[in-house]
Amino acid sequence: MTDSTIQLVSQLTNIPSPTGNTQTIMTWLHDFLIQHGYQPTFNRKGSLIVTVPGQDTNQARFVTAHVDTLGAMVRQIKPDGRIKLDLIGGFKYNAIEGEYCTIHTQSGKEITGTILMHQTSVHVYADAGTAERNQTNMEIRLDEKVTNADETKALGIQVGDFISFDPRTVITETGFIKSRHLDDKVSVAILLQILVELAKTKTSLPYTTHFFFSNNEEIGYGGNSNIDENVVEYLAVDMGAMGDDQQTDEYSASICVKDASGPYHLGLRQHLVQLCENETIPYQLDIYPFYGSDASAAMRAGADVRHALVGAGIDASHAYERTHITSIEATERLVRAYLHSPMSE
């Protein structure tokens, strides 16, 4: 079902959903799940929960992926009519330099622009290449005829308006998916595809499973609530981090053994590894040094569960990201195998 999953990835990445402004994508998810026979519910924070009854109703699983993405807000309308940004999520200004973006105004009007250094022109600024990429120096050039703050305000733009980044989703003939926001819309697509399969085949899972689509993960508290008291295991499906000293690649499922919050549950990790071995699923074990997940947020909130984190390997995380179809397929196979397996010990 990888082709269907890739189509879902493309659809999802093209729905703007910066943390704090996720109503559109959550409505899309709600309608999608209704169409496939589910009865999803929203919590007060706007996250979406789908419960699939299992053969064992005394023990349950909790599986999450997050729809919210990196983004920004209007921090200030500058005297020349350009926009100063305030970042949402953990990324650096250099990761968005030159990116197309959209400002979502209070009235619903959308205004496009480009994120640039103030000192962009090498013909004018001697420090165009050396000036720090920071909040002071970076700005949005609007695709509107504005020369001062009043003209920008007249468009309906105000402080606090959300800013989303153009995903530029491309699927190459060689099987790579290049896009912003693969973190974590690849995982959302995987969970949706599995839910579609369960509905079509009327397959019964061994345990009642709560699928939780969170909308605040990028700011640290997406999936730390609404955990039923019968939940024994919590699996976060999120991106695998790639870089120096990392084993994660774009062709395997990544199983996180430790992130910035500390080690993940050893027994559940070993269970996932054994599933990969049994099913011949390519995988890598890894430590993500500057990372937190919905599962780690749940642990900080005091959840009494065994927790784990798996995901597709994503290159250039929190920038213009990339993965390969084989990594998505491996992760989907692992999650599917897990959902049909006995509880870990």
Q: Residue 324: count other Cβ atoms within 10 Å of its Cβ.
A: 20
What CATH number is given for 71-165 in this structure?
2.40.30.40
The domain ranges of the chain are 1-68+181-340, 71-165
pLDDT at 309 > cutoff 60: yes
pLDDT tens-digit map of 150-190 = 999 999 999 999 999 999 999 999 999 999 999 999 999 99
Output the CATH code of domain 1-68+181-340.
Answer: 3.40.630.10
Residue from 65, 104, 75, 71 nearest 90 by CA = 71
Cα separation values, 102 from 105, 161, 243, Å: 9, 10, 30
Average pLDDT over residues 317-328: 98
Is 132 annotated as a binding-site member?
A: no
Predicted TM-score (pTM) of this structure: 0.97
pLDDT at position 2 is: 76
Region 211-222 average pLDDT: 94
Establish whether 66 is an annotated binding residue: yes
Work out the pLDDT band at 222, boundaries 50, 70, 90. Answer: confident
Would you place residue 197 in the very low, low, confident or very high pLDDT band (cuts 50, 70, 90)? very high
User: Is 217 considered catalytic here?
Assistant: yes
Average pLDDT, the chain: 97
Q: How far apart are the C-alpha atoms of 86 and 159, rounded to whole Å?
A: 10
Please tell me the predicted confidence (pLDDT) of residue 1.
56
Write down the catalytic residue from 97, 139, 144, 217.
217
Q: Is 183 annotated as a binding residue?
A: yes
